[in-house]
Structure 1
Amino acid sequence: MSIYLVSRHQGAVEWMQYMGHHYDQHLTHLDNYETLCAEDVVVGSLPINIVADLAQCGVSYRHLSLYIPEHLRGIELTANQLSNLDAKLEAYEVRRIVKTTS
């Protein structure tokens, strides 16, 4: 099992280290799922369709959750700002609902 941190934000990387959250590899982008194995864990703030893809592969997902006030949107946040915004890792299970035609 490997833990992947997927984020292009340096503040998120520093926050993970500051908070003592372990990860094995940092990726700025998840290009494909071929390198992932069932039982791996991905940490980040990924779109829901990608989280559903990961679940189909047996990969667990931990979301870097926080509520960003409007005045901080669109700027790079520091590890300190993330801590002040009560950032946390939360586990999510997402599944894609496929409609069948009858």
Structure 2
Amino acid sequence: MTTYFVSRHLGAIEWIKQQPQWQIDEFTPHLDATRIQAGDVVLGTLPLHLAAEVCSRGAKLYFLMLPQQFAERGNEHTVAAMSAAGATLQRFEVKKISE
């Protein structure tokens, strides 16, 4: 089992390092979903198609949620700012629907 943290934001990387319940094996700015195996854990931010692939491979997905105003989007956030805003990890099960 491997635990991945997916983010290109330095503040988010530092934030997860301060969360004692998580031990990250690999930090990456972009996830190669073909490496994911059943039992792995993926944390961070992913586009829906990658999130669905992670889940279809039997891994757990925890999405990094950061409440913020529109004007704050795209900005770098410090650990303190993320904590103050109420950053959390929420588990999701994402599934692609074929029509």
TM-score, structure 2 as length reference: 0.91
Deviation (angstroms), 1:75: 1.0
Q: How does 1:69-88 map to 2 (within 5 A)?
A: 69-88=69-88
Question: Which portions of structure 1, spanning 4 or more consecutive aligned residues, are displaced by more than 3 angstroms?
Answer: none
What corresponds to 1:67 in structure 2? 67
SS at match of 1:61: strand
Residues 24-79 of structure 1 deviation map (CA, whole Å, 9 limit, x = unaligned): 1101111x223221110110111111111111111110000121112322210111
Deviation (angstroms), 1:86: 0.2
Counting aligned pairs with the same residue, the percent is: 35
What corresponds to 1:24 in structure 2? 25
SS at match of 1:90: strand
Deviation (angstroms), 1:93: 0.5
In structure 1, list runs of 5 or more residues that go unmatched: none
Residue 95 of structure 1 pairs with residue 95 of structure 2:
yes
CA distance in 2, matches of 1:42, 1:52: 12
Matched residues, number: 98
What corresponds to 2:55 in structure 1? 55
In structure 2, list runs of 5 or more residues that go unmatched: none
Q: Which structure's CA Rg is the greater one?
A: 1
